[in-house]
Every structure is written in structure tokens, then in C-alpha cells.
Amino acid sequence: MNKKQIHHIKGNLSSRKKQYNYPGHLKIDGDIESGCQVTADLIEVNNIVQAEVRVRTGIIIHEAAKDSKIESSGYIEADKIVNSIIRAKQDIIVRKQILFSRIETNENCLIPNGLIESSEIMAYRSIEALTIKSTSASPCSLIIGILCLDDQDQKVKDLYFKLKDEKKQLYSELENAEQTIKETTQLKQKIKAIKPSLKQKITHLKQTNNTEALKELDPFFKQLNKRMESAFANLTEALSAKENILKKINSFDHEQLEISENDYFLQKQDRINRSIQNYLIDPPTVRVHG
């Protein structure tokens, strides 16, 4: 490789800049700091902590990846993976431990001398480990023989669930607004029903000059008027909110949601069909040595 394409960083990759994009080999003597977003062809690093990393050829993590998201069009090697999301098109090789993580690869997930604990592993070819630990509170899920999402599939999936969640949120807000309108309207009706008899009683007390009873009743009547004003304000606000939500629902791209839903299920079925065909030719395996 041309020396100009090798970027050597002595120390940590600082989070002050946040985003880094290197066209070649990135060699870091220290760690990738929290908050960094890094793209390169190949990366060597000690630790990755709370960062997002994307590589084309591969990544070698001499120690651990923690609370991070890593995607590789090639391979991934690490000592430990903890509470992270890891995706690779080629092999994922871990020396010691995979803990509380989600792993996806279209080749092999290999940890022959280590532990897989409380993680979700999806590997198309094989999964190999010394020990697999699972509990009812934190189960371990192993899936083999299913092709993982490629970048385009992931975009289709993300768009579908984004639109689906947006639509769900809009109708949830509409339901809340309608419930507020219903409850506030009922409260107004109750207050309206009480006020005539209360006014009549106050008039009678004034005519009979019953000042003691008037003193007791007057604060209650004022409080009732305040509740009526508050109910009216809440109703006006809820009606306005409902109107705005209905506008959003009308402008929502229902057709795009339908198209993305269709695309998502078509690509999902295609992956399953291709997985079945390949399964018959080269069956996947799970090997546990411990």
C-alpha cells in the first residue's frame, strides 16, 4: 500500500472533531473516543468506546469494542465485544468474549477459545465458541443459515419502519386528542348542569339575607367558574391539536409506506429463498467446544 494512504495516529482519535473519513489504512496506537464517527478502508485500533465505525476491507481491534456500532464490508477481528452492534460481510473473529451484543455476518462468527453470553448472533455459514451462556433474564439467540441484510436491504428496512412508526405516532396523538376532547366536553356538561341550581340557591340566600351560607357557597361558585374556564381552554387547545394532527395525517405519504412495506417483505422473502437454496448446497453449523 502507498505510504500516503497509511494514516498513523499516535494516541487516541479525539472526539473533538467527531467525524473522520480516511481513504486508506488508519492505524491508531490508542482508542477511538466516545462520539466519533469514523470511515476508512482498514482500521487498526486498541479500543472503540461509544463510537460508530464503518470500514470497507476490515478492522482489527486489539482489545475491546464497547457500546459501539461497527459495520464492515470485509472482516472484523476483536479481543472482546461488549454491548455493541456488529455487522460484517466476511468473518467476525473474537478471541475472548461476546457479551450483550448483536452480531450479524454473511460468513462465520468464530470465538473458538471464548464465551458468547446473552447475545444475538446471526451467522450465515457457522457459529463456533468454547462456551455459550444463556439465562432466562438475558437469553442468547443463535441463528444460522439466513443471509444478513446488505446495505440496500437495510435502507429498505429502515425506511419502512421509519414510515410505519411515524404513522403509528400520528394516530396515537390523534387518539389522545380525541380522548381529551371527550373528557373535557363531559366536564363542561357537568358544570353547566350544576350552575343553574347553584345560581338559584345563591339568589335565594341573598333574598333571605343568609350571609353565613353565602360566605360558604361563594368560594365554591368561583372555583366552579375557574374550572369552567380551564375546561374551555383545554377543549380549545385539544380541538386545535386535533386539527393539526389531521392535517399531518392527510399530508402523510401513505402510498410511500405501502411501497416500502411491499419492498421490505419482497427483499425479506428473497433473502429467505436464497438462504434455503444455499443451505441445501452447504449446510451451516454451530460448534460448541466447552
Question: Tell me: the pLDDT tens digits for 61-102?
Answer: 999 999 999 999 999 999 999 999 999 999 999 999 999 999
Q: What is the dihedral sign for C-alpha 147, 65, 34, 137?
A: positive
The label of the residue with cell 393539526 reads 244
CA–CA separation, 135 vs 213, rounded Å?
Answer: 69
Q: What is the pTM of this model?
A: 0.63
pLDDT in tens, 20-37: 999 899 999 999 999 999
Torsion angle of the four alpha carbons 148, 151, 155, 156, in this order, in degrees rounded to the nearest 10: -50
Please give the DSSP secondary-structure letter assigned to residue 96: E
- Helix pair 151-207, 211-251: axis angle to 10 deg: 160
Helix, strand, coil percentages, rounded to 5, for the chain: 45, 35, 20
> Domain spans of the chain?
3-148, 152-252
| Predicted pLDDT of residue 1 | 43
Which three-class secondary structure state does DSSP give residue 219? Answer: helix
Triad 175, 176, 180: Cα angle to 5°: 115
Q: Could you say which residues of the chain have pLDDT below 70?
A: 1-4, 279-280, 290
Render the burial of 103-121: b for 16+ CB within 10 Å, e for the rest: bbbbbbbbbeebbbbbbbb
Note whether 99 and 84 are within 8 A (CB): no
| Predicted pLDDT of residue 232 | 84
| Predicted pLDDT of residue 196 | 76
Which cell goes with 286?
A: 454451530
Per DSSP bridges, beta strands 75-82 and 92-99 are: parallel
Which cell goes with 23?
A: 481513504
- Spatial CB neighbours of 25, under 8 Å, sequence gap ≥ 6: 1, 5, 6, 7, 40, 41, 42, 43, 44
- Spatial CB neighbours of 134, under 8 Å, sequence gap ≥ 6: 117, 118, 140
| Predicted pLDDT of residue 290 | 64
